[in-house]
Every structure is written in C-alpha cells, then in structure tokens.
Structure 1
Amino acid sequence: MEPDVNDDSAEPAGYRRSAGSPRGEARRRELLDQVTDDLAVNGLVDFSLRRAARAAGTTHKVLLYHFESADDLLKQAIFKLRDQRIDRALAAAAEGAGRLSLADWVRAVWPVLASEEAGVLDQAIGLAMYDSERYAELGRGASQQYLPTLLSACPQHWPERRRLEVAEMVLATLRGFLVDARTSGDTDGISAGFEALARALEREEAAG
C-alpha cells in the first residue's frame, strides 16, 4: 500500500518554513529524528503526516512549518535512514585488515544491507517503482551512494570501464537479492545466489 502522504499536506496560506535560524534548524533536526525513528520501526505502509506528527509529539501544522510538504518529510527521513545504513555498511567493510577483495567487501556489507531494520529502505525502492516520477531519487540513489566505494574496492589496475561494469553488476544483483528477501522469504535461494555472486567476483579478480 502506498503511504498516505497527502493528508493535510497542502501548506496553509501564510505559512512560512523555518529559514535556517539555529533554533529553527535544531527543531527541524529534532522532528526529523523522531519521524525517522518511527519510520524505521513501522515502515512506509500507512505512513501519513498525522502519524508522523504523533511520533514527533506535535501537530501536522508544526511539521509543515519545518518541512515543505509531507513528501519532503518522508524523503528526508528515508535519506537519513539510508545514510545510517551506508555508514554501518562501510564501517563493517572497514573492519577487515588491509584491502578487501571484492568478494570480501560484498560479504562484509551484506548482513547490514539485509538486516530487518533496513527493510524500510527496500520498501522505498518499491515506492519508486510504483511512482517513479514522484519518488525516482528513492530508487536509483539508494544504491548509487555505494558506487564510489565499490569502485575503489575494484583492483586499481583495471580499466575504468571494467571497474564500472563490475560495480554496477554487483549493485544490481544485491538490489535484486534485497527485493527477493523482502518479498519471497526464500532465504536458501538468496544465500545460494549470494555465494554464487561472491565466487564470480573471486574469479573476476583472479583473472587479473
């Protein structure tokens, strides 16, 4: 079900959003943190401006003072969750001693990507598929933020085109596994496919 982001989302006449004052910005961050926490627990289904207001302990009019619209609030909360997942994934990869192989990098980040607490971000990909014009940045951008780090994990002697091809293949495959994990629950099949990906990357690196 698409989140109901339209209830009371029209900005009232005369309303003015907080315009960068330290106090206003601090309040905006506080509200965003509270809405983000609710989104992480309860997901996108039935998300609404009124639900967000309850989670933040305020009113929908206060939220509209600090955010352009319900869509703006939803996107910012998703972006915040995405940044948190990226930070955790990259931290997990950084725990390895020395330079990780591509296969090791993928194995290190996968548990973070597939964790239950990250499920709302995969719901956001579905939202982008449902209404690509409105939510396009929730889809493609979700994996593209990993691209620079994944490119740097490729052997540096590879031509730029080869590194891009392999990195895009990895991102697309992991994205497919995530969608399958959220929709089918076929953990055995996903595990088998994931190990096949890791072996393919090992062969790719061994080929020089």
Structure 2
Amino acid sequence: MPTAAKPPTSARRDELLAASVTYVAEHGLADLSLRPLAQAIGSSPRVLLYLFGSKDGLVQEILNAGRAEQLTLIERADDHPGSARETLDHLWTWLMAPERRGALRLFFDGYVHSFNGEAPWSDFATRSLDEWLPPLSRVLADHNVPPTLVLAVLRGLLLDHVAASTPEDHRRIHSAWTTFLDRTLPTAPTD
C-alpha cells in the first residue's frame, strides 16, 4: 500500500514538532502514544498523523530534531577557539547544563532503540557516530588521543549524568571528566 505524501512544512507543523521533542525529552520514547502526546501539546492524533504521515514518521522527525541539536553543538565545539582541552571543557559545560538534560535523555533513548534495527530508529546510533567522530578528530588532531575514546568517555559520563539524582552524583561525574582530561590532555604548565 503506498504511503501518503507528507504535507509541506508549515509553522503549525514546526510548532507541534518542537512541542513533541520537548514532550518526548521529558517522557521518553519507549511507551510513546499519540493520544497523550497530542493532548499534552494541544493537538489531536489525527492532526499528528496528517502532518507526519504516521507515528513512525513523527518519531523519525523527533529523532532528527534531536540530532540537529547535537550536530549544532559539536560544530560549535569544533569552532571554539583554543586548545583541545578548552574545546572539550566548553562542550562538557554546554552538555551538562540543566536545560539539556531532556535532550540527552532523548538522545540515549533513540540510541538504545536503534540497536534493534527497526524503523524509525534503525540508523540513529550509527549516524550519530558518523557525525561526532569527524569534528572530534579535528579537535584532537594535534594530540595522540583517539576520538573514539573521548566520545566513549563523554557519552558514558553523560549517561551517568542523566541517571544521576543527587548533587553528589553530579560532582562525582564532573570530577571523572576532569580526571580524564587531566590524564589525556593535560594543561600546559604556566610560568
């Protein structure tokens, strides 16, 4: 059965997508149901299906929006003037901001769902690696530090951050990042 063409982008579609991203960042993707989502964002399941073609189409758009934010972030870090250490510190600070917690949760939710290889999540994890490793390679070009190691440590600590519930947990996670940077990209001694 042929699928219906997706309606062109509109201000209302963009508004509902942004609201859906916020909703999913707070509630997760695992049990996403159109009825509660539509009610929470001031729409209806019928409108969402019309605008996004299907629930999978909406989920794909939500994941794409999260990825776009991720790409903007890593590109900003790549453009940050200064040493690799300063750039990675800048990236860490940006990611750890309380207002990004929902976006991180959405990222990890999509990442884990992609392991099953089913649409709409099927290539989320692979594309994420393909997007993050080149800018990290540029940031680390003058250092003998594999970008994959930096990305793995960064994501592991961010996953702990999303799971953390106390200020002590957050201090521990920040300390682990600082220790990692101290051992892999020590700052130059000052005179």
TM normalised by structure 2 equals: 0.73
Deviations 1:134-153 (A, max 9, x none): 42423233343222221221
Match of 2:155 among 167, 175, 178: 175
Match of 1:112 among 94, 110, 130: 94
Shift of residue 89 of structure 1?
5.2
Shift of residue 110 of structure 1?
1.0
CA distance in 2, matches of 1:70, 1:166: 39
Partner of 2:53: 68
CA distance in 2, matches of 1:14, 1:35: 26
Percent identity of equivalent pairs: 24
Partner of 2:9: 25
Partner SS for 1:145: helix
Is 1:79 aligned with 2:90? no
8 Å contact kept, 2:29–2:109 = yes
CA distance in 1, matches of 2:112, 2:135: 24
Deviations 1:32-75 (A, max 9, x none): 22322322344335421223322443322222222232122112
Q: 1:128 to 1:189 in 2, by over 3 A?
A: farther
Gaps of 5+ in 1: 1-12
Match of 1:125 among 77, 89, 111: 111
Q: 1:193 to 1:176 in 2, by over 3 A?
A: same
Is 1:58 aligned with 2:38? no
Partner of 2:134: 148
Alignment size in residue pairs:
180
Partner of 2:29: 44
Shift of residue 15 of structure 1?
7.4
Shift of residue 107 of structure 1?
0.9
8 Å contact kept, 1:35–1:77 = yes
Question: What RMSD in Å do the two structures reach over aligned CA positions?
Answer: 3.3
CA distance in 2, matches of 1:82, 1:42: 18
Shift of residue 28 of structure 1?
3.4
Paired letter, 1:117: G
Shift of residue 194 of structure 1?
0.8
Shift of residue 203 of structure 1?
5.0
Deviations 1:132-175 (A, max 9, x none): 4442423233343222221221235x7xxx6xx71111111111
Gaps of 5+ in 2: none
TM normalised by structure 1 equals: 0.68
Q: 1:184 to 1:71 in 2, by over 3 A?
A: same
CA distance in 1, matches of 2:110, 2:3: 29
